[in-house]
Amino acid sequence: MELIIALGIFICAVVACLLTSHSVVFALMVGFVVFAIVGIRMGNKPGEVMKMAAGGAKDAMIVVEIVIMIGFMTGLWRASGTITFFVYYGISVMTPSLFILIAFIMCLILAYVMGNSFGTVGTMGLMLMAIAHGGNVDPIVTAGAIVSAAYFGDRTSPMSSTAILVANITHVDLMELVPKLMKTNIIPLLLCFGLYTFLSFKNPIQVVDDSIMNALATDFSLSPLTLIPVIFAIALPILRFDIRWAFICGIISSAIIAIAIQGASFMDVITWSIMGYTPDSPSLQEVISGGGFIDMWIVAVMVTIACSISGIFKGTNMLNTIQAHVGTMMSRLGRFVTTLIMSTLVAAIFCSQTIAVMLSKDLLQKPFNDNGGEDMELAVDLSNAGVLTSAVVPWNVAIAVPLAMLGVGPSAIAWAFYLYLVPIIYIFTKRFLYKK
């Protein structure tokens, strides 16, 4: 009963944060306090509960380091012209009759390189939406294609903080997880290509506004050297370097490019890495601004507190009763279907992708192992379920923020085919695509 009351208080705190436009960090703080109290009420000493929480927070440190580096990197990739290079030349080769398909492919590539759904939507996505509006292309369909591609990177890229979080909390090797996720991408992506090709013919672009393209060419030097950070981002993980080296090399190389090629000062680079990049041209401020440590510190705090709560759950066996019911469901429905149901429910209740992934893992780990599952299988199932279904729940932050950036409503989710094709297809193909 005390656990149910604590969960109720936590849910109310999440709802209050959403209604008052405050960060979910405050709800996590409330959750930490109430779950710690329940842990003490279960007979554990306060010091023991804090030690459990500290152990959970320690597990989060690798993810927190990477989240902070993602902030530095995304700010400097904007300043160095790396993202601008992608956008400028991607749009330059765009075929009017295939606008939606090419928009999907461009965002797909950028999302994989950046590993950041919000960053993809907030740069390439905004520019494509501006072109769609000016060219009389359906903005709802365009937004759906952009979100689809953005979450491909969020789920699959080795540079993604979400993928790194999943690998870390399930204790699997990230570079062993990514190929398994790629394998489950094949059918959904082929279907997405077909669907967006059909929609492109139904929504050809009529007019192209060159003002943004001219501003990009004027404000940035579009040298191929701006792609050096991308080479590091792709090559180092493939060569099995620690993923942190990919970020470190990406940050250093983009800082050097910003100074040597774009003409920035050393202090500019420091400021942009912390506070985010803002271009001089007013016409580009809406589509290129962003990134920096300040853009990611809340995510770092959320991960730390969520892992602390996870440590309390694990140390006190607080979730045993719920896990028993989950185990019964799993024996009837199977491991992935149960993961899909539970993670979607958690995503709907707690309105955060990070919480959905963390809490779903805590609820599912023991039943999963008892049912014959392994850690890698759980990592793949969480990636195919909670990571994506968070973006299907209209009020979840994972989708509410991108849709607000793009200036469209929840109806765009229906056109974000990737979000639900992956879990639906995996229900029927898991026995073939996942092998221990």
Residue 295 neighbours by CB distance under 10 Å? 22
Q: How far apart are CA 48 and CA 152, in angstroms?
A: 40
Residue 251: which of 271, 230, 229 has the closest Cα? 229
**C-beta of residue 232 within 8 angstroms of C-beta of residue 246:** yes
**Would you state the pLDDT for residue 218?**
84
Distances (CA, A) of 40 to 33, 52, 307, 309: 11, 12, 18, 13
* DSSP 8-state secondary structure symbol assigned to residue 124: I
Distances (CA, A) of 337 to 182, 219, 258, 367: 20, 50, 47, 13
Amino acid at 428: F
| Three-class SS state of 70 | helix
**C-beta of residue 205 within 8 angstroms of C-beta of residue 96:** yes
Q: How far apart are CA 377 and CA 379, in angstroms?
A: 5
Q: How far apart are CA 280 and CA 284, in angstroms?
A: 8
| Three-class SS state of 277 | strand
**Would you state the pLDDT for residue 124?**
82
**Would you state the pLDDT for residue 208?**
62
Q: How far apart are CA 380 and CA 53, in angstroms?
A: 26
* Cα Rg of the chain (Å, integer): 22
**Would you state the pLDDT for residue 207?**
64
* Sign of the torsion angle spanned by Cα atoms 399, 403, 408, 412: negative
User: Residue for token digits 């990571």?
Assistant: 387
pTM (predicted TM-score): 0.81
Q: How far apart are CA 341 and CA 96, in angstroms?
A: 40
**C-beta of residue 328 within 8 angstroms of C-beta of residue 280:** no
User: Residue for token digits 């927070």?
Assistant: 57
Residue 186, both tokens: 């094949």
**C-beta of residue 144 within 8 angstroms of C-beta of residue 414:** yes
C-alpha 36: how far from chain center: 28
**Would you state the pLDDT for residue 179?**
92
Residue 123, both tokens: 């740069």
Q: How far apart are CA 358 and CA 286, in angstroms?
A: 33
Residue 97 neighbours by CB distance under 10 Å? 14
Residues 6+ apart with CB under 8 A from 358: 165, 169, 303, 306, 307, 309, 310
What are the sequence ranges of the domains in the chain?
62-295
**Would you state the pLDDT for residue 400?**
84
Q: Where are the alpha helices (DSSP H) in 96-138?
A: 99-114, 117-120, 126-134
User: Residue for token digits 């000062």?
Assistant: 265
**Would you state the pLDDT for residue 265?**
92
Residue 307: which of 52, 10, 124 has the closest Cα? 52
Low-confidence ranges of the chain (pLDDT < 50): none
Residue 290: what are its φ and ψ, rounded to 5°? 135, -170
Amino acid at 365: Q
Residues 6+ apart with CB under 8 A from 45: none
Distances (CA, A) of 284 to 84, 114, 147, 205, 424: 10, 20, 21, 22, 39
User: Residue for token digits 């997405």?
Assistant: 192
